[in-house]
Amino acid sequence: MFFNTTLWQSLLGALTSVSCYYLLSWGIKELRYRHAARKAGCALPVKCWHKDPILGLDLFVQRIKDMNSGDSLATDRLLLEKYGKTVQTNSWGIKQYVTMDPANMQTVLATQVDKFGNEPKNRAMCAPFLGDGVITLDGHAWKTSRQLLNPVFARAQVSELSSFEVHVGRMIDHIPRDGSMIDMQPLCKMLFLDSSTEFIFGKSANSLSSETDSSVARRLSKLFDEALVGMFTRYMLGSFKFLVGTKKWLNNCAEVHNIIDGFIDEEVERQKTKSLTNSATESSTPYKYVLLKELVKTTEDKRSIRNELMNVFFPARDTAAILTSSILFMLARYPDVWNKMREEVLSIGDQKLTFELLKSLKYTHAVINETLRFHAPAGGSWKTCLAPCILPYGGGAAGREPILLQPGDEVRMSFTPLHMDPEIWGEDALEFRPERFLGLKQSWNFIPFLGGRRICPAQQNVLTDICYVLVRLAKEFQAVENRDECFEYVDRIVFTRESKNGVKVAFVPAV
């Protein structure tokens, strides 16, 4: 009894000391912050009230609940409705500023871009899988990666449509012509898996065809998906990622790396033979620009080649497919929009589908943008503050005064609330109306591909490819009809946001 009482007293004493230490250091930090903010001419940020003020677990739990209920953006939406366009929250003990303010986003992504980075968060969460590359690095190393990638995307964008057609043709062959239902989401995923593996590795997964020699690329895709789930869990847990074991995940990463290393060895050999014999050895793809081939030409460092490939395959994996299927989700629900888009497509007759011709289809692009406004596959972007920086808004009683951010603080830029803001898009912001994009100039009010120097390098390639798919479908079919009892978009997230119920539609062939 005596022993137990002493033990309890010691435990209580230790707990009190730790709490006092925590409170004291928090108090000193907060006082220093207030002093620095005042000196910088900033107001105190609008703060979210937390049930758990230490780690902010209440918000974490709420986000998990939202994800399970198919409305993963609900927490950000409600937070911003309640507190204004920028609010300071607590994410695992770190100050995280959630914002939908375009001026703050422009500051983070353009005017003060050197004061923000991906590396502190992305490298810690993703490095064992993705390695050091364009997604995980900042500064000079990021610039080197980006300079390697930019020209490949720029050249591929205008020259690969005939190779892309092979995959699109196969996808269209899978669509029933007797009015029966088809889920277009998995089909679009196959289409873009086939084309992206071909563009990135020079080997198509050929998931839409019966080719038998593509089993390695298909296995890669499956293993990659499994590893992404592990990486997403780490992301959600932040600095508490140690709570989940890594052994299985690391084995999974190693398997993916082995497959990609095999592709690299093969390409290095191919290019060596080519330079020795001065003759072109047969390539396994009709694509003119393959990322792997271009990277092998620039460096002999196989590890860095693998890292770059991983850093591109990760964002390429599902995004374009999800956007294409989300467009079909909307078109099946808005037949007038489909008819108007089809009218534009039919007006070009049998002209060859070139990059320039596709770019001239203004209404079709407006349909793509309007879907991106509702359902951007990447719903937001996270950056870590690297040096003290002032954001123009988020402070004071109305959140309209500047705020001071300090190194280690995070900014969570939430695109969908920005893209749905009635102050920007008008009273009909919640209506699906592509016309609003006709003649609209590019601005920080609409950034589904991000903005500034870290803007998605594949933006133009993606828009061209998706426009191509829509044109082919509009020529082939006169209508697309919804076959899903649920009208709403119920979502599911593993990095990208897709429709949980798929995209169940039926096509009516053109006569």
Q: Judged by CB under 6 A, which of 134, 184, 345, 505 binds ligand HEM?
A: 134
Q: Which is nearer to ligand HEM, 170 or 454 (CB)?
A: 454
The closest of 331, 315, 420, 333 to 378, measured between CA atoms, is 315
Q: Considering the rule CB under 6 A, would residue 457 count as an interface residue with ligand HEM?
A: yes
Instruction: Classify 73 as helix, strand or coil.
Output: coil
Residue 411 CB contacts under 8 Å (≥ 6 apart), including other chains: 96, 97, 99, 104, 108, 116, 382, 383, 384, 385, 391, 405
Size of the site for ligand HEM (CB under 6 A): 24
**Cβ-based neighbour number of residue 241 at 10 Å:** 16
Q: Which stretch binds ligand HEM (CB under 6 A): 4-12, 202-210, 307-315, 354-362?
A: 307-315
Q: Is 456 annotated as a binding residue?
A: yes
The kind and range of the H/E element at 190 are: helix 184-201
How far apart are CB 163 and ligand HEM at their closest, in Å? Answer: 14
Q: Which is nearer to ligand HEM, 72 or 118 (CB)?
A: 118
How far apart are CB 319 and ligand HEM at their closest, in Å? Answer: 3
Q: How many CA atoms does the CB half-sphere of 162 hold within 13 Å?
A: 7
Q: Which is nearer to ligand HEM, 214 or 319 (CB)?
A: 319
Q: Considering the rule CB under 6 A, would residue 451 count as an interface residue with ligand HEM?
A: no
Residue 204 CB contacts under 8 Å (≥ 6 apart), including other chains: 167, 194, 195, 197, 198, 214, 217, 285
Q: Which is nearer to ligand HEM, 160 or 484 (CB)?
A: 160
Q: Considering the rule CB under 6 A, would residue 456 count as an interface residue with ligand HEM?
A: yes
Calpha distance 118→386 (Å, rounded): 10
Calpha distance 408→387 (Å, rounded): 8
How far apart are CB 462 and ligand HEM at their closest, in Å? Answer: 4
Calpha distance 58→52 (Å, rounded): 6
Q: Which is nearer to ligand HEM, 161 or 323 (CB)?
A: 323
| Cα-only R_g, the chain | 25
How far apart are CB 378 and ligand HEM at their closest, in Å? Answer: 4
How far apart are CB 340 and ligand HEM at their closest, in Å? Answer: 22
How far apart are CB 497 and ligand HEM at their closest, in Å? Answer: 10
Q: Which stretch binds ligand HEM (CB under 6 A): 15-23, 349-357, 384-392, 456-464?
A: 456-464
Instruction: Classify 375 as helix, strand or coil.
Output: coil
Q: Judged by CB under 6 A, which of 96, 107, 221, 319 binds ligand HEM?
A: 319
Q: Considering the rule CB under 6 A, would residue 448 count as an interface residue with ligand HEM?
A: yes
Strand runs labelled E in 310-434 = 380-385, 389-395, 401-405, 410-414
Draw the binding track, 346-385, toward ligand HEM (x: CB under 6 A; -: no contact): ------------------------------xxx--x----
Look up residue 348 and give its DSSP letter: T
Pairing of β 410-414 and β 94-99: parallel
Q: Considering the rule CB under 6 A, would residue 185 count as an interface residue with ligand HEM?
A: no
Q: Considering the rule CB under 6 A, would residue 102 count as an interface residue with ligand HEM?
A: no
Q: Which is nearer to ligand HEM, 46 or 419 (CB)?
A: 419
Residues 26-85 that bind ligand HEM (CB under 6 A): none
Look up residue 47 and give its DSSP letter: B
Residues 381-410 that bind ligand HEM (CB under 6 A): 381
Residue 438 CB contacts under 8 Å (≥ 6 apart), including other chains: 362, 363, 366
Q: Rule CB under 6 A: which residues touch ligand HEM? A: 118, 134-135, 146, 196, 311-312, 315-316, 319-320, 323, 376-378, 381, 448-450, 454, 456-458, 462
Annotated binding site for heme: 456
Q: Which residues are annotated as a binding site?
A: 456
